[in-house]
Amino acid sequence: MKAHPFQHRHPTTGVTTSSEGMDLRDYFAAACHDKIGCFPQHFTLNEVGNLTERQQAEFDRYIKASSKLAYQLADAMLEAREPKDEQS
């Protein structure tokens, strides 16, 4: 399933392009990752390009762990969307 499919008509040329959108799993993971926080609190965006090897290793571990958690949450969200077989 896709999120945000769209068609765009160029205002000058009139050429229409379309996109299926992003996978719903990726969309949910991005939303979760935003809430989890993708940066350790003691790092700022300005510091990310200037980290020591030890800091870079810590940063990489944090990113991998938070990304894994975001996809686990996204998978749970997709599972919750599946219709349940109700037995009468």
The pTM score is 0.63
The answer to whether 74 and 34 have CB atoms below 8 angstroms apart is no
- Collapsing DSSP states into helix, strand and coil, what is residue 54? helix
Looking up tokens 């940066």 gives: 39
Q: How far apart are CA 29 and CA 59, in angstroms?
A: 19
- By C-alpha distance, which of 27, 6, 39 is closest to 74? 27
Give the tens place of pLDDT for each residue, 30-51: 888 877 766 666 666 556 667 7
pLDDT in tens, 65-86: 989 999 999 999 999 988 877 6
